[in-house]
Structure 1
Amino acid sequence: MTEVHDLAAFVHGATFSRLSPAAVEQLKIRVLDTVGIAIAALDARPLVAIRELTESLGGNGESTLIGGGTSAPDRAAFYNIALSRYLDFMDSYLAAGETNHPSDNIGAVLAAAESADAGGADFLTAVAVAYQVHTRLSDVAPVRAKGFDHTVQGAYAVAAAVSKALGLSVDQTANAIAISGTANNALRVTRTGNLSNWKGLAYPQVGKEGTFAALLARAGITGPERVFEGNKGFKETIAGDFTIDWSKEDLESVLRTIIKKHNAEIHSQSSIDAAIGIRSQAGFDATKIAAVRVTTFQVAFDIIGGGEEGSKREIRTKEEADHSLLYMVAAALLDGEVQPAAYEPERIARADVQELLQKVTVTPDAGYSARFPNEMPARVEVELADGTVLNAETASYKGFFTNPLDWADALAKFTGLVTPFTGATLRDELAGVIHDLDSRPVRELTTLLARVPLRRTPSTRDNGSTQKAGHRP
């Protein structure tokens, strides 16, 4: 028995009955959150371009594209994951040496489950598999410090989950995971220096290729059976040695993931909360800020604070803005929120935020670092021109795994994101189907997703809503 075969046996043996009620609820909340974020990105310029490309390439029509139309499962996976990933508003998992976004797998699982005419309970089980594989590999086999992207573990997770959704055998599942894991080892340069559109498209690529790997395996194509432990395999070349006993794994990892409160990179959430809290303190005046000092944990400093992944002071695009703690804290202090409107080109270019972000300094703190990933501690100090210093400190928020969202909380976020596109009736239909997804076929959800307009309605397009996607055409 090879290690990939052990993993495949775990995937094949996963059943909905093994999920706790709490895990089922949180899986549904993740689907609701992911669908809402995807819909809110429908008219973002890069997604318009990707949709046009997808339509021009065609496909066999087995899987629905959000916003209408169909394509082959792998192409639908790319487009639908790109929608849910573009705004950078998705869920996250914090491991000591890695951070990933397990909801990035949902678009691929949805495409595969629809093509297999699966039931909602089977779909949710496959999503749970994705979360378990993705998070556990991130726990024991982090790759960021070695120059590889956090999508690397996802190559195993998405192939496993799609195989589950397609109903593949153990051997077919092992081959799918082996093909995907061998072929998809992305470089971390995706998220360093000046950022490109690929920051939001790296996982859609992995999702597409993981889906295709499962289709290849179903057709009888084999992959390297010792992808993990073999000569020049994942352990030897990238991850180093690790052990997971898949026979002892459950399907509960979704309970350890967190949902974003602010439309911002996950490690910024506490700093943004603190900055927004300062706005309510007596004497605050954004026009009088002389300096802003952010103290945070090492991972946040390294990724978004100007540490090992490059300076975050030159901000020109959405991709750079939502990965700059300096920009996001400045926007929070000026606007009182960080939502999709913070990444409109005209907002990014405005003098007030460009000038204020130059006054922000970020410093890592060893004590804060020791509390991560169980907490995300941060402290923000704002010094005004007259010498007054205002400060606030926080370590978590509603949506963190220690204080998870309930359905009502998640529905409020969903409502703000999708209503400009769907109106109230379709919005409520979508939420209702997702709420009862374990007793409904997946096609009920995809049929509704096909009805979502590709553009927000005229009555909401220019009403000053904060829930706008960045870079609209």
Structure 2
Amino acid sequence: ADAVIAWMLGGPDREYAVELPEPGERLRSIMESYTKEHSAEYQAQAWIDLARKLHGENPALTDPANIESIVLHTSHHTHYVIGSGANDPQKYDPTASRETLDHSIPYIFAVALQDGGWHHVDSYTPERAAREDTVALWHKVSTAEDEEWTRRYHSIDPAEKAFGGRVVITLADGSTVEDEIAVADAHPLGARPFAREDYIAKFRTLAEPVLEEAEIERFLELVQRLPELTADEVRQLSIVAKLGVLATAPAPKGLF
């Protein structure tokens, strides 16, 4: 039809072939989903995991006094969208909004390197972003486009496609620490591909502040029986927030 979506996809005469699985065939696309373990832009996932690894291997890297510079050699997309190639001063601003910080790989890498992990709330608080030693380390982090990582980012081969890069940390004494990561740990080809228990743990972490424990258990019991649910049980695949949560949730007013 001559509609908006048709024109967005190339015009009303454009045709697309979508492969659908045969009955019983493995659902490849679902199984190859790029899961976000961390609450940040997807291109930051692998970098958080690499920072976590370096934190455990070399705690001295968390002190900005020991660091001369940190350069993340990465894809065109990462460099120009969430890296220093964006030429966006807010990506280095400790008063920037959460929405800006979660698209700042210099900030994300610095915090993950210091903390040895990432928290969906604590890693973004104004207090965390303004910490003096964090700001000092953060401002030593930059990105650089690497042709090979750009090529791998655009590869259509799942075994080659990459979202990470190589880090070169130059220490104050002139020595360097180098490491690299291609995909996030939670990626199907990563160090720790997300499994059912990881999804459940992530759901619990996000749900516990807003749902009662009984509601969490009820929902999890249902979704883990998804293929066999009755029509009535499917209608129960929603959640009820703790008393008072919705009333205190920040939300813009609608038209009415």
Q: What interval of TM-score do these two structures reach, taking the shorter chain for normalisation? A: 0.7 to 0.9
SS of the counterpart of 2:54? Answer: helix
Greater Cα shift, 267-276 or 403-412: 403-412
CA distance in 2, matches of 1:253, 1:285: 38
Listed one character per residue, the Cα deviations across residues 100-132 of structure 1 (whole Å, up to 9, x for unaligned) are xxxxxxxxxxxxxxxxxxxxxxxxxxxxxxxxx
Assess if the C-alpha contact under 8 Å between 2:49 and 2:185 holds in 1: no
Q: Counterparts of 1:262-411 in structure 2 under 5 Å?
A: 262-282=38-58, 284-287=60-63, 288=65, 289-308=67-86, 310-311=88-89, 312-315=91-94, 316-340=96-120, 341-373=122-154, 374-402=161-189, 404-411=193-200
Per-residue deviation, 1:338? 1.8
CA distance in 1, matches of 2:201, 2:114: 24
CA distance in 1, matches of 2:212, 2:115: 26
Equivalent position amino acid for 1:366 in 2 = E
Q: Which residue of 1 aligns with 2:158?
A: none
Equivalent position amino acid for 2:185 in 1 = K
The structure with more helix, counted as a fraction of residues: 1
CA distance in 2, matches of 1:350, 1:282: 21
Q: Which residue of 1 aligns with 2:24?
A: none
Q: Counterparts of 1:414-433 in structure 2 under 5 Å?
A: 414-433=203-222
Give me the TM-score of the superposition, normalised by structure 1: 0.43
Give ranges in structure 2 of 5+ residues lacking alignment: 22-26, 155-160, 250-256
> Identity over aligned residues, as a percent?
27
**Correspondence for 2:227 among 409, 417, 438:** 438
C-alpha spacing 1:278/1:314, structure 2 compared with 1 (3 Å) = same
C-alpha spacing 1:236/1:412, structure 2 compared with 1 (3 Å) = closer
Q: Counterparts of 1:196-275 in structure 2 under 5 Å?
A: 227-228=5-6, 233-235=7-9, 243-246=15-18, 248-250=19-21, 253-275=29-51
Q: Which residue of 2 aligns with 1:450?
A: 240
Assess if the C-alpha contact under 8 Å between 1:292 and 1:360 holds in 2: yes
Listed one character per residue, the Cα deviations across residues 239-263 of structure 1 (whole Å, up to 9, x for unaligned) are xx964124x5447533332111222
CA distance in 1, matches of 2:206, 2:212: 11
Per-residue deviation, 1:363? 0.6
Aligned residues: 226
CA distance in 2, matches of 1:407, 1:269: 19
CA distance in 1, matches of 2:200, 2:178: 32
CA distance in 2, matches of 1:306, 1:395: 20
Per-residue deviation, 1:270? 1.5
CA distance in 2, matches of 1:363, 1:324: 14
Q: Counterparts of 1:22-33 in structure 2 under 5 Å?
A: none
Equivalent position amino acid for 2:109 in 1 = V
Assess if the C-alpha contact under 8 Å between 2:212 and 2:242 holds in 1: no
Equivalent position amino acid for 1:397 in 2 = A
RMSD: 3.0
Per-residue deviation, 1:283? 6.1
Assess if the C-alpha contact under 8 Å between 1:281 and 1:390 holds in 2: no
Greater Cα shift, 274-283 or 357-366: 274-283
SS of the counterpart of 1:421? Answer: coil
CA distance in 2, matches of 1:302, 1:242: 31
Listed one character per residue, the Cα deviations across residues 375-394 of structure 1 (whole Å, up to 9, x for unaligned) are 22312232332333223211
Per-residue deviation, 1:337? 1.3
